[in-house]
Structure 1
Amino acid sequence: MDKNVFGESLIPCSMEPLTGFFRDGCCNTNEEDHGMHTVCVELTAEFLEFSSACGNDLTTPLPEFGFPGLKPGDHWCLCASRWKEALDAGKAPLVVLEATNEKTLDIISLDILVKFALKKTKP
């Protein structure tokens, strides 16, 4: 079972809308997940606009893929590299640390993630 950034059991990110590389509600990953969908975030309008400008429109529903389209306030498992791009552009959404996979730490330091914590339950 995957662990979160604190080395504890990974909690679900979102069941509605259903997120995760495996669409299991969690930011689980494996070698098939080349995008590393490991960062659980609370989406903002600013980030959704940024993502769309980068070529990944997350707001338009794609019913043929069971994708409802996302809106501000939704929780979603983002690719770690996209979150870092958003950070560098000043548009990073807040992170649910307990639902963020420890593999994220290969790309983003815990110190940075903690600064963007949705709720600070850990030091």
Structure 2
Amino acid sequence: MRSETREASKNVLGSPLRACCHNPQTGYFRDGYCRASEGDMGRHIVCAEMTDDFLAFTKSQGNDLSTPNPDYNFPGLRAGDRWCLCARRWQEAWKHNRAPKVVLEACHESTLEIIPLSVLKQFAIQAMN
């Protein structure tokens, strides 16, 4: 998989990839988009809306997304924030009935290599304008 431009990126529905969130600034490239890159070993391609339940789950699995980390310009997430999650972490949360909602228009098409569209659709919420 090579890095692609935002303009060339497609979402899981086959249309142009929409932004996930600009506040906080998310994405592997911190440009607001959950786009794929060869350099992103975690595959941060699922745009999800955080919940307290998911944040507690991912912290229990060793990935604390709620505590700020100034060294990485990371503000810490709260329920309601949207963030580009690792596809495998979202899948793991789903298997434990703790998956957060997703914005299909902002999930990169390569998400479908890991999570079926039928599953993602069960968790779909509206994109922000």
TM bracket, shorter-chain basis: over 0.9
> 2:36 aligned with 1:29, yes or no?
yes
Over the matched positions of the two proteins, sequence identity in percent amounts to: 52
Measured against aligned partners, the alpha-carbon deviations of 1:91-116 in whole angstroms (never above 9, x if no partner) come to 00000000000000000000000011
Q: What is the match of residue 47 of structure 2?
A: 40
| Structure 2 gap segments, 5+ residues each | 1-7
- 1:119 deviates by 3.2
1:39 alignment partner, SS class: strand
- 1:63 deviates by 1.1
CA RMSD of aligned residues (A): 1.0
Report the TM-score when normalising by structure 2: 0.91
| Structure 1 gap segments, 5+ residues each | none
State the one-letter code of the partner of 1:101: H
Q: What is the match of residue 119 of structure 1?
A: 126
Measured against aligned partners, the alpha-carbon deviations of 1:59-112 in whole angstroms (never above 9, x if no partner) come to 110112110000000000000000000000000000000000000000000000
Equivalents in 1 of 2:42, 2:31: separation in Å?
Answer: 16
Q: What is the match of residue 77 of structure 2?
A: 70
* Number of residue pairs matched by the alignment: 120
